[in-house]
Amino acid sequence: MSSHDIPEENLPAEQDTAHGAVTVADEENPFADPGLPPHEHRVQDIDEQAARRSERTVAMLFTVSMLATLGFIASYVTIPTDKSIFVFPIGHLSAMNFALGLTLGVALFAIGAGAVHWARTLMSDMEIADERHPVEASPEVKTKVLADFKQGARESQLGRRKLIRNTMFGALALFPLSGVMLLRDLGPLPGTKLRHTLWSKGKLLVNMNTNEPLRPSDVAVGSLTFAKPEGLEENNEDFQTEIAKAALMIVRLQPDNIKDKRELEWSHQGIVAFSKICTHVGCPISLYEQQTHHVLCPCHQSTFDLSDGARVIFGPAGHALPQLRIGVNADGYLEALGDFEEPVGPAFWERG
């Protein structure tokens, strides 16, 4: 059915502005403006049954979007991260990623398709020609824009088509939940994990380069030795996590040169062990100046005095490097006498 089959008096009223201004070519204006073509009514404009069908289609699409968003949430919560599936022709995929992508895609597509179908079939399709006007709108134009806006709002039938309105609000309100669910990937919170390292009483200090337990005789005056806790191997699954907290640097000083009383007590024959992790933002410290006993962090040049409790003498670091209390076991190897007494690394979370 088209508007040509309907008696003139039954057709919806046309707007005066629908066909725009028509001009003929003359000397001053050689290009004729034929105006807009005559407006054709759609079947939904003249058949309420068809309009209702379109309304139901739009509502169905918004409902599909809602279901897909719920499916996204359900997939995120229920599908194990290590489960894989075969999808032809792509091959093996993570089941969770596939389900998340599929449901998110359907949710977005259904909202878009619903909006497009609504606009194409139910909103007014009357073309309106407007003359160019100065950037600053006159009061009359502003009044007209407001009137047009209200008319557009009426013609969109948002107030009348409650089914569309409610399902659209439902789809738009539910959709952001997909993003909220992804925030879960920022967790879990570290809890007290950052307060403890692998060091504990009796753990041997192992040379990071040779992988051999250290004896006091292995640490020469003026040298800088890096150590890790016994049992922590590079092929351990959590090696990077643990070494980022437990990495040690060991130097031997003349006991007379140690100014800090506690540092001297926690050392063994002048051998001191400090965290290698800078207390500014956690870079590994690697530069040692044996004459001054200073260590320098290469990232932002924080400098610590190892002869004075590793206090900060320059740079942005907020506090001294934590010291590990060490001793020697019955076999003559260097061992830890406990964990660090304070958290290692940057101080921001320590205050939380």
The footprint of ligand FES on residues 10-29 (CB under 6 A) is none
Which of 319, 336, 314 has the alpha carbon at shortest distance from 327?
Answer: 336
* Per rule CB under 6 A, count of chain residues that contact ligand FES: 11
Q: Are the C-beta atoms of residues 245 and 345 closer than 8 Å to each other?
A: yes
Which of 276, 278, 256, 277 has the alpha carbon at shortest distance from 267?
Answer: 256
Among 33, 300, 348, 349, binds ligand FES (CB under 6 A): 300
Contacts of 20 (CB under 8 A, 6+ apart): 33, 35, 36, 127, 128, 129
Among 51, 95, 224, 278, binds ligand FES (CB under 6 A): 278
Q: Is 316 in the site for ligand FES (CB under 6 A)?
A: yes
Q: Is 318 in the site for ligand FES (CB under 6 A)?
A: no
Whole-angstrom distance, CA of residue 117 vs CA of residue 125: 12
Provide the minimum distance between the beta carbon of 285 and ligand FES in the complex, in angstroms, as a whole number: 7
Among 281, 328, 337, 347, binds ligand FES (CB under 6 A): 281
Q: Is 317 in the site for ligand FES (CB under 6 A)?
A: yes
Provide the minimum distance between the beta carbon of 302 and ligand FES in the complex, in angstroms, as a whole number: 3
**Helix/strand/coil percent split, the chain, to 5:** 40, 15, 45
Where does the chain have alpha helices with state H?
A: 43-46, 48-78, 95-121, 139-155, 162-174, 177-182, 239-246, 261-265
Q: Which residues pair with 323 in a beta bridge?
A: 274
In the bound state with ligand FES, the residue whose beta carbon lies nearer, of 42 and 280, is 280
The footprint of ligand FES on residues 232-261 (CB under 6 A) is none
In the bound state with ligand FES, the residue whose beta carbon lies nearer, of 153 and 287, is 287
- Segment contacting ligand FES by CB under 6 A, of 98-106, 137-145, 178-186, 275-283: 275-283
CA distances from 1 to 4, 6, 8, 10, 39 (A): 8, 8, 14, 14, 15
One symbol per residue from 33 to 72: x for binding ligand FES (CB under 6 A), - otherwise; what is it? ----------------------------------------
Residues that bind ligand FES (CB under 6 A): 278, 280-281, 283, 297, 299-300, 302, 315-317
